[in-house]
Amino acid sequence: MSQVPQAHLQEAFLQASLSQARLEMFAQQARSRQRPREAELYDALAASLKVHVRRFLMLMRGKLGDIAANLGETRDEMLPGLLQGYAELVAQADQAGRRVDGTALDQSAQVAQRQGELAQALTEGGQEAGPYLVCSICGWLATGSAPERCPVCGAVHEKFQPIA
């Protein structure tokens, strides 16, 4: 049996990732509207697709490295790639007059910058004290406790959720 071309795996990964994210949003909406049966189904569907996403990613990238190699890849390749991609998309959104899109993409770039700082600090042996908390609006990561306001999007501290 021949291997699936890389482009097909990438397309499958993209489709499964997008579907998983949408199903998670559907579940959140169902929970907020007191529809637990639907929320449970959406959560199950999203969990199933998460298995697909991981499988496709493993097939595209091969096996995981050791902890230091994974941290290096995160710090040196993944996060800088996101920053560059977001910057290009911000410019395109601005050029097209899509201010709301540009703002969301710019906030994502700021979050990626913060993620890089956290990865660099861990690489250098430093650790910020306390658990991580994520802003449910923009994704910015806090350590220890939530700030009064998110430094990226301005969300109130109640919008920060602990990472389990």
Task: Give the residue carrying structure tokens 């890089």.
Answer: 116
CB-side neighbour CA atoms (13 Å) of 156: 1
The pTM for the full model equals 0.74
Per residue in 40-95, pLDDT tens? 999 999 999 999 999 998 888 766 778 888 888 889 998 999 999 999 999 999 99
Domain extent listing, the chain = 6-61, 66-127, 128-164
Q: How far is residue 82 from each of residues 69, 102, 112, 116, 127, measured CA to CA in Å?
A: 18, 15, 7, 10, 23
Report which secondary-structure segment, H or E, holds 141.
strand 141-143
Per residue in 102-142, pLDDT tens? 999 999 999 999 998 888 888 887 665 568 999 999 999 99
Q: In this structure, which topology does domain 128-164 adopt according to CATH?
A: Rubrerythrin, domain 2 (2.20.28)
